[in-house]
Structures are given as C-alpha cells and as structure tokens.
Amino acid sequence: MRWRRLWALARKEALHLLRDPRSLGIALLIPLLQLLLFGYALTLDVDRVPLLVWDRSQTPASRDLISRFDGSRYFSLQDMAFSYAELEEAIDSGRALAALVIPAELGGDIEAGRPTAVQLIVDGSDSNTATLALGYAEALTQSYSDRILRQKIRRLGYFFPRPVLDLRSRAWYNPELRSRNFIVPGLIVVIMNVIAALLTSLTVAREWENGTMEQLISTPVKGPELIMGKLLPYFGLGMFDLLLAVILGRYLFEVPLRGSAALVFALAAVFLVGVLSVGMLLSVLTRSQLLSSQAAMIVTYLPALLLSGLVFPLANMPPALQVISHFFPARYFVRLMRAIYLKGLGLEFFALEASLLLLFAAVVLALANLAFKKRLS
C-alpha cells in the first residue's frame, strides 16, 4: 500500500464531498436534527398525566385527596367533571388520560372509619402509560390512607405501629431517573450508525454510475488503497459528528459524562470503522446508489433502533431475537456508551464488548477489500 496514492484518493474524495452540498447536509445537519428530535421527543418518563376529577363528595376529605393528585408531578389536573358522560368524552377526545371518581359517601365513611372505594379510569390504549399511571395513583391513595389511619389512631390515644421493614430506595448513576440520561448515549450510537453507513454506501456505487470507475481501474491504485482512501474523509466527518453530539448531549440535554471522554472517542473510532465498512461493502456489492442506500438503512437503522437495547430491553425480547442481536455491533456500543456515560466504567468491565467491536470492524473491512475487484465485469 502506497501512502502517497492513499492520500491522493482521500483528498479526491474529500474535495468531492466538499463540493456536494447534499452529502454535507446529510453528514452535518441530519445528525443534529436527529439528536434534537429524538432527544426531546423520545422519552420513557411518564409524568404530568392529564387528569379529570368528578368530586361527588365535595368535602374537605375529597379536596384533600384531589390536592394530592394535583400536587404530584405525575398528574396534571385539567378540569372538574360532573358526570360520567363528561369523563368519557374527555378520555375519548384525548383531553385526559385518566379520570378520578370520588364517591359521595367518601367524607362520611372516613369520619366513621369505614372503608370506601375511589374509582380511577385510565385510557388503556397506551398500555405503558396506563400501567405507570395506575401505579402512581395506587401509591398516592395508599399514602393518603396511611395518613388518615395515623390521625385516627392518634385521636384514640394509641401509637401507630412502626412498619417491620423500612425500605429506603436509592437510584445509583441516575438519581433523578431521567430517561434522557439513558437515551441520549444510545442515540449517539444510532445516529453514527445510520449516517456513516448511508454516506459510504454511495461512494463506490457513484463511481460506477458516473463512469469514473474505469479511470480509477486504469491507474496503479490497488483495491485496499481505494477502499481506505474513500473511507478516510468519512471517518473524519463521522468523528466530527460525534464531537458535536457529545457537546450537545452535555450542554443542551445535560447528560453527565462520568467516564473518560478519550475512551468514548477511541471506542467510537473502532465502531465507526466497522459501520463505514458496512456501507462500503454494500456499495461494492450493489454498484447502485439507490439500492445500496436502501440496503444500508435496513442493515443499520432498524437493528440499531430495535435490537440494540436503546428503547426496548433485550431481556424482554423473544430468545430468537436476542440471539440475532449479537450479530449487530450497535448492541455492544450502546452498552459501552451507557456504561461510560452514566457509570464511569472502563474497559476492565467491558473488555469483551470492546473486543467484539474491534473484531467486527476488522472482519467487515477485510470483506469490503476482498469484494472489490479492479475489473469492469
């Protein structure tokens, strides 16, 4: 391999990239837009659930219960209702996701020490939100019931017994349980995966379609020099995109980077070589920009989004999909990024994942070099 020829090819590809505003737009603007859109829109937090209340009791006890829901960050009181028809219309139209119905006998039952039932209606069309809203409501009503019970026991002159177990929970690495801290490191992986493969999937195919590959074949340039020369500009562009994503994640989304930034960039470089090689391999095999770009989206975007553990836990997937996910490097890089970002861990804990990323990059790069042949047929 001659470094002079390699540098000349890299310079040629870089100049072509700079003169193509569409490619630059894909490489620079789309990653930023994806990070902004996904970072703000993709969230697993369920709070401020729109709530409607039908207070049939109209007593201090019912108003106290309503204040607990309204004062919680998990519910947002939208309005008061006065019939089931209003509750049904609000849930059907989407104005409310939950409705609380307080019975007329609530105040009297509490004063008399009798148990009473409070109804909570939840829109089950979104099962995840409905499940979490039910859990929040149960916790609030249980807290309300415990406080009423303590007050009654004290009025009778007794002491409320202490619980046998006193659970004091603490969340490590993400104390506020912000889903953004969990999602943004994985989003960086998905964005790098898609953009890198999409850009390099057009390189060799473009040469074939434009008729310039014949000129390259007639030169002394060897296959590995051509592959590496075309990869280098996109590698630099990908690392620049990574830098922008890390800066946005830290200062815009306020995601802490507790681990080594150098380790993030080192692992990202290995991952980037592998993903760029995937795009290059598809471009060599298909010789069509349209076909290679579509194949790149299928091979990189869907697995990175669905089979990496970014949104859906891998442990909850069918065993067959869990096995298939091992063949996609995004699975390992997402885990590495979260470990470095949130836990501040190093390679001593994830040496296997890092080794698999390195193996993937080496194998795919070798396949791209083997697939490229300097001949017209």
Q: What does pLDDT average to in each consecutive run of 10 residues of the chain (377 residues)?
A: 77 80 75 79 77 91 90 89 90 90 88 85 85 88 84 72 72 84 86 78 76 71 81 88 90 90 94 90 84 84 84 85 90 92 89 93 90 67
Rounded to the nearest 5 percent, the helix, strand and coil shares of the chain are: 65, 5, 30
Q: Which class for 57: exposed (0-12), middle (13-18), buried (19 or more C-beta within 10 A)?
A: buried
In CATH terms, the superfamily for domain 49-155 is abc type-2 transporter like domain (3.40.1710.10)
Residue 175 contacts residue 253 (beta carbons within 8 Å)? no
Global pTM? 0.79
Which pLDDT score is estimated for 284? 84
CA distances from 347 to 260, 314, 339, 373 (A): 10, 22, 10, 38
Selection from 164, 330, 241, 327 nearest residue 338 by Cα: 330
Q: Specify the domain boundaries for CATH 3.40.1710.10 within the chain.
A: 49-155
Which pLDDT score is estimated for 161? 66
